[in-house]
Structure 1
Amino acid sequence: MSRRMTNLDIVREGDTFPYRSQEPEALAALTARLHTLVAPGGQPLGYMLDEVVAQLVAVPEAVRGAVVVDAGARTVRAFEQASEPERSARVAALMRHWRERRAFAILRGWRDEPWPVYGAGGRLLYTVERSATGLLGVARYGVHMTGYVRDPAASRGLRLWVPRRAASKSTYPGMLDNTVAGGLVAGEDPFACVVREADEEADIPAALMRERARFAGQITYIHITDERAGGEAGQIYPETQWLYEIELPAGFRPTPKDGEVAEFYLLTVEEVQEELARGRFKPNCGLVLLDFFIRHKILTAENEPDYAEIVQRLHRRLPFPGPSLSPSNYKNENQD
């Protein structure tokens, strides 16, 4: 990227879906080629591209089950079997059908990870293969953790551990990332997820996580994918991320373990800001880091003219239901 990005540019790259109040024409143009996937009763569940809807209705009903498309309301009803296992099985059959026929390039990144789709009241409606969530445009849930060390010699008194994604990754290969990140599979608690991901991606022991990792809030946004995400561009990703941070011991070094990370760098705040400005971070990681900077008073209303819009866009109101979790599901048991 030749032009340096401002902090607001970084947020807008991650939170891409147009706002009605700010971009009415862009929103109208986008929604003109979307259908809303709805549950019985009309609860919105996801944003589906018209071309995905066309592929859906072309699949034999014996595979996909009953589908009702309302062209006037631009809604789709599907996967309404009597029980969650039946609904999940129907979604899985559809995705396998598309994968076997190479209907969508995004399914080349098949992960065998069932991601949850929730209805009203946080009820699990069904699960969907991780790589296929963008085809339905349903909400996605994950965890991101920023690891840092105290360093009195650094201008801000700390340095951040930043990984580079492996070149073999199907999504955003070679880009910079947050210290640890991952998606919630169905039935998984956020804190359990971040402990698992810390072990798998950075070889951070579970005991160290339970001692030091702290829940730091959430961010919400709606991202529209580009070619870096793998597969078809333009898919809608409404996302909620549970954020964690951990002050690591000065002598501890995260180590790549599962092949998803090429290497880790220990960077100053200024070095991280420079890499952000050059567009070298995965888009949603930029949002996570800006939120970290806000929490640590590095980014403030006094030094950032777009502070109010940045904060607002980091906590976008999503139109889709999510899980019903108590604090015990996402906080470290050692955290107040």
Structure 2
Amino acid sequence: MDLKAYIARVNNLYHFHVSRDTTTLGFVLPEVAAKFGWSVNDETNPGTLTLCGGHDHDSRSEIIKTTMAHFKNTRAFSILENWRGELKPCYGSKGNVLFSIERAAFPLLGIVAYGVMLVAYTRNEEGGIKGLWVQRRSHEARTHAGLLDGTAAGGVPIHTKPFTTLINEAREEASLSEELVTQRARPCGTVSYFHTRRRDMGGEVGLLQPGMHFLYDMEVPENVRPQSSDANVEGFELMTPDRIRWEILARNVKPWFALAIIDFFVRHGIIHEENEKDFIEISMRLHRNLGFPVSGVSFLMNHSS
């Protein structure tokens, strides 16, 4: 990565803060910051957009809600046409939730989004990976229409644990029972990324969207076949690793699904240092340091040795 070019790019964006806290929570495009009635400081480099009102979660959330509802009603941002009525958290430097924000609105402030990704797979007689159950999104879906996605995937709502989200998404999208997912799904880390929104995502192009997905693998027997039970899901196909590799190179997959599958390939030895010249670079970029506060508590700090 060209570090100088990255710094120059970041310094042209507004850094989003809440009052009495210098922590940068996200990056905001200048044309977006200009529409907010909050405190905008153009004298510093980088400039800042600060939510000055509110002193706790509830009061900040109310200001955010009022602001975003106004933008929605006045059609200030097309991304708000995908209003979901679902809240997402914004975490502070101490792991506390600073405020809640409508799911459709968080890209405007560039804050970190959290999701889950399930990859169900089968093995061949030799024990290798035979196929992965891949979801194709409906061509009528509001975002990423027609692209490939994980067996089940979705955003983590506020006050909901990732695994609970996974169970719900697996049932809603793939008709997989809670019993099956609880017994077979295994947590296997995360991928983190910094995405610039494209036209196929809907809404304003160029919004900065850092994100993190909690990953789960689930080996299933041959008689388990996911079935579509969601309007946004067209169907499922059992794809070989080689076929999925081709689909990734052809850009027929959701961006974070591509990352999740590459991580899957690394963990299962399909991609390794002997068959991929950029193996180290790929491995590092799957776990990007976002530079913003993220959710979580330390296992190490909460257990005595």
TM over 0.5: yes
Report deviation, 1:26.
Answer: 5.2
2:28 matches 1:48:
yes
Alignment partners' CA distance in 2, 1:228 and 1:26:
24
Q: 1:90 aligns with which of 63, 70, 89?
A: 63
Q: 2:43 aligns with which of 71, 84, 101?
A: 71
Alignment partners' CA distance in 1, 2:75 and 2:39:
21
Alignment partners' CA distance in 2, 1:92 and 1:32:
28
Alignment partners' CA distance in 1, 2:147 and 2:50:
37
Report deviation, 1:138.
Answer: 0.4
Q: 1:118 aligns with which of 67, 73, 91?
A: 91
Query: Corresponding residue for 1:236?
Result: 208
Report deviation, 1:79.
Answer: 5.3
Gapped runs of 5+ residues in structure 2?
300-305
Q: 1:197 aligns with which of 162, 169, 182?
A: 169
Q: Alpha carbon RMSD of aligned pairs, Å?
A: 1.7
Query: Corresponding residue for 2:13?
Result: 34
Alignment partners' CA distance in 2, 1:163 and 1:94:
36
Query: Corresponding residue for 2:150?
Result: 178
Query: Corresponding residue for 1:208?
Result: 180
Query: Corresponding residue for 2:4?
Result: 24
Query: 1:325/1:168 Cα in 2 relative to 1: closer, same or farther (>3 Å)?
Result: farther
Decide which structure has greater helix share.
Answer: 1
> Is 2:121–2:129's contact at 8 Å kept on the other side of the alignment?
no
Number of residue-to-residue matches in the alignment: 297
Q: Larger relative CO (CA 8 A, sep 6+): 1 or 2? A: 1
Query: Corresponding residue for 1:253?
Result: 225
Alignment partners' CA distance in 2, 1:143 and 1:78:
29
Poorly superposed stretches of 4+, deviation over 4 Å: none
Q: 2:108 aligns with which of 135, 141, 152?
A: 135
Alignment partners' CA distance in 2, 1:34 and 1:68:
12
Report deviation, 1:32.
Answer: 4.6
Deviations 1:44-97 (A, max 9, x none): 10100001110113xxxxxxxx53535323111105412211111111111110
Alignment partners' CA distance in 2, 1:199 and 1:79:
41
Code of the residue aligned with 1:302 in structure 2: it is E
Gapped runs of 5+ residues in structure 1?
1-18, 58-65, 328-336
- The two structures have a TM-score, normalised by structure 1, of 0.85
SS of 1:265's partner is: strand
Alignment partners' CA distance in 2, 1:322 and 1:105:
27
